[in-house]
Amino acid sequence: MRNASRSAIVSMAGLVVAAGILAPLSTLPTSAAEKPVPAEKSPPGDIPDTQVFIDYASPEGFTLKVPEGWARSNRPDGASFVDKLDGVVVSVSKTNAAPTVERAKADYVPKLETVERAVKVTSVRPVQLPAGPAIRIVYTSNSEPNAVTGKQVRLENERYLYFKDGKLVTLELYAPKGADNVDQWQLMSQSFRWN
C-alpha cells in the first residue's frame, strides 16, 4: 500500500514556487517505466452508502467533510484519511496565482506522472464548486506494492486544486479502479469551504 509515500508525493506535487510553477521533484524516484496493473474484476473499496461523514477543520483555514472512522494522519502540510485501499489526502502550499488548466497540464501533470506509479491522466478541466472555481484532475495509477505480498492495485484518482489569497489546497481522493464512490467523492469535493 502506498499511504506513507503517497503523503510525500502529495506534499511534493502540491509545492509551488513564487511564480506559481511547481517546485522540482529531483529527490523522488521516477517510475515512468512501470506498466499499469490490470484493474480487479470486483474491486474492493466501495464507500458504503451508509457511511457517515464528519467535518475536518484545518488550521489552514478551510473545512471539508471526511469519512468518519477512517485512520487520520496529521502532516506538516495537511492530513490524510485512509481506510484499506481508499484514501483522502489534503495538502496546503503557497502560490501567487490561481491554477489554470494550461498550467496544470504544463507543470502539475508532468510532475504527477514522474512521482506516481504508471499514471494515466484522462481529464484536466475547470469546475465550479460551492467554494469557488477549482481545477479537477482525473487519472489512474498503480498503488505502492504491498510490503508483504508485493501486490499492486490499479487506482482511480481525482485531485481538486482550490485557490484563495495565495493558498493552494490540493484534495486527493483515491480508491481501487472500478469502486463505486462517485456520490461520496462528489460530497467531499463539494463540501470544501474556506473559513
Q: Is residue 27 part of a domain?
A: no
User: Which pLDDT score is estimated for 40?
Assistant: 83
| Placement of cell 517546485 in the chain | 23
Indicate whether 5 pLDDT > 70: no
Q: Is residue 43 part of a domain?
A: no
**Residue 152: which CATH number?**
3.40.1000.10
Q: Measure the CA–CA gap between 152 and 109, rounded to whole angstroms.
A: 22
Indicate whether 19 pLDDT > 80: no
| pLDDT tens, position by position, 44-69 | 778 988 999 999 999 999 999 999 99
Domain that holds residue 100: 3-19+52-194
User: Which pLDDT score is estimated for 129?
Assistant: 98
Count of domains forming the chain = 1
